[in-house]
Amino acid sequence: MTKHIFITGGVVSGLGKGITAASLAYLLKSRGYSVAMQKFDPYLNVDPGTMSPYQHGEVYVTDDGTETDLDLGHYERFAGVSCDRHSNYTSGKIYSSVIAREREGAYLGATVQMIPHITDEIKAAVRSAAKPGIDIVISEIGGTAGDIESLPFLEAIRQFKNEAGIGNAIVIHLTLVPYIKSVGEMKTKPSQQSVSILHSIGIFPDMLVCRTENPIEDEQRRKLSLFCNVPDEMVIEEQDVEHSIYEVPQELAERGMDAKVLKLLGLPVRDSKLDDWHWLLDRVLHPARKCRIAMVGKYAGLRDAYKSIFESFAHAGIALQAKVECDMLEAEELEQDCTKLEGYDGILVPGGFGVRGIAGKVAALRYAREHKIPCLGICLGMQCMVIEYARNVLGFADADSTEFNPDTAHPVIDFMPEQRGISAKGGTMRLGAYPCRLVDGSLAAKLYGKEEISERHRHRFEYNNDYKEKLVSAGLKVGGTSPDGNLVEMVELPEHPFYIGCQFHPEFKSRPFTPHPLFVGLIQAALNH
């Protein structure tokens, strides 16, 4: 029988439920258990696909094309699990499903209510992750205890835990134990009140994980145990790590969190195998060299908008035992002057939507091309590479994407062939994993070391094949295409130290132990710059 772990949060948002959940999953897998993970988000959007990164951070895309919360990136990177459409549910997705069935008459005329219909739908979503061969499902509940939006999810897990029976489902509550500098002590009251909210709706956490800046003293631990109704040994300290989020699994292992969870679930506490993680952490904490990368984007004030890219840099750094210092530069600030790029060893231009910042991205790419600075363009970044080359090498001054200028005389980037003539809004995006065939002898083929790859996409505009012959003749070579050759997936400049663009999002496939070849290639070139 599959066991279930529910992770809730209290006091404030942003405590790191996703990293804690992913770290626990890794530790359980290191003891030989198969784990599935999922995230429940209480907002009414059906998915985060239409949300601004300022609202929600990056949109993470799974192999099956599901647009999801960025925490699923932590799940796949830390725990090595494969996420899909059963891994992320929102209130909007739950309510939409219930309403659609009500319209079809599936409820036989019954009054559709929050209980039991919405909560039943949530419980069905939890069960959807319990596939054959899965020992443990970890379900993270977004938001914090007390949020009105989260109440249906909390009620559903209360029911689920009771129905599953003792030892088959547990609740772990992540909370904050702040240090108040003015009085010189840590305060447990916020955690007590958070847990009290859960108690009031019938949820009694089995374990308390306490985020803190300083070690928790015995007195505070006893208070938390007494007033939160949690055994003393189930109060787990999760102190802020000093250097990297990749320190979290080791910290939780030292606290014995995974062994205690297995005991709560009535599962054997098998030997833990963490040698690989210790090797990884040693390379994170003791780099032998470093390089500086400039990332030119339109959300420079929000690192979460490019979360997977930053993690991919970390993975490449692990592989090369190097520290990668990445600065975010606002694309609009480079439109007239690219001198801010001086001193950087490499440049990355990420994906995105909309015209804002395009001129700055194009200017940065020209600077990288002309100054021989290693450069990687991702999705929109690759499209900007094509636009820049068409304007400044082919001489098509008004070359553009029809996303930004529908009337351009030289639409080097246009709707995907099958989408031309269709509105740019709606279900026109290419989402999820698609195969790509690499050109023999190309830099792309050298980096990957294989002929065909699979990468995740999220876009609706493409390289326009009408300009392919001119661009290739002028030096911007094609490094990869769809298997039928109709869609250009990668471009590159053979005479440049490292100048390559991809239509897909390589950051979604990078992992700590298997860094993505394009990021490794960029960092290696930057180290040699």
Q: pLDDT of 212-230, one tens digit each?
A: 999 998 999 999 999 999 9
CA distance 16 to 21: 8
For residues 527 and 483, is the Cβ–Cβ distance under 8 A?
Answer: no
Task: Check 155, 311, 462, 507 and give the catalytic one.
Answer: 507
For residues 42 and 146, is the Cβ–Cβ distance under 8 A?
Answer: no
Share above pLDDT 70 across residues of the chain, in percent, rounded to a whole number: 98
The widest CA-to-CA distance across the chain, in whole angstroms, is 75
| Mean pLDDT computed over every residue of the chain | 94
4 is catalytic: no
Q: pLDDT of 480-492, one tens digit each?
A: 999 999 999 999 9
Task: Check 228, 375, 379, 502 and give the catalytic one.
Answer: 379
Q: Could you write out the DSSP letters of every residue in 428-481?
A: --EEEEEEEEEPTTSHHHHHHTSSEEEEEEEESEEE-GGGHHHHHHTT-EEEEE
Q: pLDDT of 460-483, one tens digit each?
A: 999 999 999 999 999 999 999 999
Residue 413's identity, in one-letter code, is I
Mean pLDDT for the stretch of residues 69-79: 94
Q: pLDDT of 377-396, one tens digit each?
A: 999 999 999 999 999 999 99
Q: pLDDT of 316-345, one tens digit each?
A: 999 999 999 999 999 999 988 999 999 999
- Give residue 418's pLDDT: 55
CA distance 145 to 59: 24
pLDDT at 353 over 80: yes
Mean pLDDT for the stretch of residues 417-445: 76
Mean pLDDT for the stretch of residues 82-106: 95
Task: Check 4, 410, 496, 505 and give the catalytic one.
Answer: 505
User: In order of start, what are the domains of the chain with their CATH numbers?
Assistant: 3-280 (3.40.50.300), 287-527 (3.40.50.880)
Count of helices and strands (H, E) across the chain:
17, 23
CA distance 325 to 306: 14
- The residues, any chain, with a CB within 8 Å of residue 226's CB and separated by 6 or more, are none
Share above pLDDT 90 across residues of the chain, in percent, rounded to a whole number: 87
Q: pTM value?
A: 0.93
- Give residue 181's pLDDT: 84
Three-state SS at 519? helix
For residues 523 and 344, is the Cβ–Cβ distance under 8 A?
Answer: no
Tell which residue, 380, 385, 517, 513, has the closest CA to residue 438: 517
Which residue is listed with tokens 């054959």? 132
Structure tokens at 458: 């999220």
371 is catalytic: no
- The residues, any chain, with a CB within 8 Å of residue 216's CB and separated by 6 or more, are 177, 186, 210, 224, 235, 237
Structure tokens at 298: 């339109």
Strand order through the sheet with 322-330: 322-330, 289-297, 346-349, 375-378, 499-502, 488-492, 477-481, 430-438, 452-459
505 is catalytic: yes
